[in-house]
Structure 1
Amino acid sequence: MSHSSATLVVVMPVFEDVEASSRLFHELASRRGLDTFVVAVDDGSVKQPVDPAAISKAGLEGVVIRLRRNVGHQRAIAIGLSYVAEKFDGQQQVVVMDSDGEDTPESIGELLGGLQQEGTDVVVATRKSRVETLRFRAFYVVYKWLFSFLSGRRISFGNFMALKMPAVRRLAAMQELWTHVAACVLNSKLRVATCALDRGPRYAGRSKMNFVGLALHGFRALMVFAEDVLVRVGIVCTLVALLSVLGGVLALVLKALGFATPGWFSLVTGILLLVFLQTGALTLITLMLSGSVRSGGIVSVGSYKEFVADILSAKRE
């Protein structure tokens, strides 16, 4: 099967997870059929690099893109999508999923079904339920609130999604894709539909994502909307500075009317002056930064190859 004859392309990042990914290859062959082409991005694995033979043994065809070093989950997906945008010229449907089994192959049909609706470019998976620790769930609630407050947008999905080929090419040309995939989809102006799905159990092993990694992942989503975040922070700082000025005027009036106790006016005035100077300086800094941030840049075709050590083809056995 050539690249052009595949009807479904599955992009997945893999890092030191041979057992789970090998099982996923077999599940994809069983659930989605032999017209599925796998693009497995080996994110610099050292102990357990992905073998193309695992794809062949599952009865599928595909490629293993081995990276020169570990670049992280989001960049690995960006490299996979960039490869698909460059190598596929048909009207294939593309699915992005994790390799650990939590994104289930049987759910792909629901995503692709939503992709058939008119006026839809991308279908993203939202979770019906989560089996997570209390700390993770609390962090996720705070993260969604902060993201909505600072960026003015809502984010309720991850990397599990189905895309039409024009949408893949659009995302591959956006530099934000290398920072955060889901936030890039929000920023792409593509027509996005949601599909509520259950999360599956991991096939093997334990998640390599820790709390610090999750926090960093959340901050990267805000980086995609850096200009919006900086402007909102600047507005808040300006309001705080104005309130400090009003507080100083009020303190002066109270002092003139004789309501201030000894030392009270000096203390309050000093605190308000300090707040005003700090927020004023922060406002200037944020405005300067918002003017220097450049989003929406174009990524050159083939730039992903700088990270690639080797591309290994897998033929069906």
Structure 2
Amino acid sequence: MTTHCIIMPLYNDWSSAGILIRKIDQQVASWQGNISVVLVNDGSQEQMPSTHEWIGDCDFIEHICVIDLVCNMGHQRAIAVGLAYAHNLGGFDSVFIMDSDGEDPPHELNDLHRSGRDNPGAIITADRASRSEGPLFRFWYWCYKLLFFLLTGTQIRFGNFSHIPAHQLDRLVHYPDLWNSLSGTLKRSGLPIKGIPSHRGMRYVGPSKMNFNGLVIHGMSAIAVLKEAVMVRLMIMAALVWIGAALLWAIVAVAGYGPWRSWLALLALFGLQTHVVLAMILFTHLNRRAHALQGPAMFWQQYVRAIHSLK
């Protein structure tokens, strides 16, 4: 019999989480395994309701617990703590990560579970085939994906909704970048990833809490994980600018087009300065690799206030 853990970060979303847990209980009925749900309470201001009124009776979920963090640390760090907790607890064949508000449809857990069985060595991600937000949000999300591709040279189609086998979890929780972004860390890690199509659901209670500022922070956090690739690509772009401008300056000088020479010289100088500054930043960052960095597996406990077992 297999054992699985479903990790859900939560911030003031108790009502949605209760509905979601009941729906998950219906979906995992055919899994023939032990299912645990771990809610990571990211410093919620709202008090947790009583278990009976909030969740009710679950027939197929064996264990439910709530991890109270010492403060509001943000969605990604709450996920990192949840993953480190599951890794420390041990005994799971795989872990699932999903939002607690219903935007990650519970019926798609079956698709992730099935794909995980068919691809035992891979991390299964839910690649967004459609989204439920308005056109403005979708536009900015498209801009984020385009910027991610331009700066890193790789595409990103997934978020947090995923399935991670236990042997890959052991590696993942030792990546320091996991504090910043799960999706960015998966991209950087080189671990095998297989995506399946997913359709964004609707929140069970209240409007979406993801605003423009949150989207920018989320996107920049993922890009920051791949900072070495970003700086190298920016250096290449800057080099193309100053080399191209210098060549054009030489051509213009030979041809005798005087008015353009000063502008091209300034452009070449700007590109060269940018190239040098980026190189210095990259060297400084690479030098910091001499310092040992620790992933969530090493010190997640210091961010936990209490752990409550609800079932």
Q: How many residues align?
A: 301
Q: What aligned pairs does 1:136-175 form with structure 2 within 5 A after superposition?
A: 136-175=137-176
Once the two structures are TM-superposed, the CA of residue 100 in structure 1 deviates from its matched residue by 0.7
The reply on whether 1:41 has 2:40 as its aligned counterpart is yes
Alignment of 1:268-287 (within 5 A): 268-287=260-279
Q: Which residue of 1 aligns with 2:215?
A: 214
1:65 to 64, 67, 71: 67
Task: Confirm or deny: 8 A CA contact 2:18 2:55 kept in the other structure.
Answer: no
Report what 2:283 is aligned to. Answer: 291
- The match for 2:77 is 75
Alignment partner, residue 13 of structure 1 = 9
Q: CA deviation at 1:55?
A: 7.4
Q: Residues 167-212 of structure 1, C-alpha deviation per residue, up to 9 Å, x if partnerless?
A: 1121111011111111111222211111112222211111111012
Once the two structures are overlaid, the 10-residue window that deviates more, 50-59 or 299-308, is 50-59
Please say if residues 235 and 278 of structure 2, whose CA atoms lie closer than 8 Å, have aligned partners that are also in contact: yes
Q: Which amino acid aligns with 2:307?
A: I
Deviation string 1:137-168 (CA, Å, 9 cap, x unpaired) is 22222222221121121110111111111111
Deviates more, 1:118-127 or 1:101-110: 118-127
Give 1:118 shift.
Answer: 4.0
| TM-score normalised over the length of structure 1 | 0.88
Unaligned runs of 5+ in 2: none
Identity of aligned residues (%): 32
**CA-CA distance at 1:301 after TM superposition:** 3.3
Separation in structure 2 between the aligned mates of residue 108 and residue 82 of structure 1, nearest angstrom:
21
Q: 1:309 to 1:66 in 2, by over 3 A?
A: same
Distance in 1 separating the partners of 2:45 and 2:92:
35
SS at structure 2 position matched to 1:293: helix
The one-letter code of the counterpart of 1:202 is R
Deviates most, 99-108 or 127-136? 127-136
Aligned-partner Cα distance in 2 for 1:55–1:156: 33
Q: CA deviation at 1:127?
A: 2.3
Aligned-residue RMSD, C-alpha: 2.2
State the TM-score, normalized to the length of structure 2: 0.89
Correspondence 1:254-269 to 2 at 5 A: 254-255=255-256, 260=257, 265=258, 267-269=259-261
Alignment of 1:113-128 (within 5 A): 113-118=114-119, 120-128=121-129
Q: Once structures 1 and 2 are overlaid, which stretch shifts more, 234-243 or 132-141?
A: 132-141
Please state how far the C-alpha of 1:128 moved relative to its aligned partner: 2.6
Distance 1:254 1:140 in 2: 47
Alignment of 1:305 with 2:298, yes or no, is no
Runs of 5+ unmatched residues, structure 1: none
Structure with higher strand content: 2
C-alpha separation in 2, matches of 1:290 and 1:83: 34
- Relative distance call for 1:180 and 1:216 in structure 2 (3 A) is same
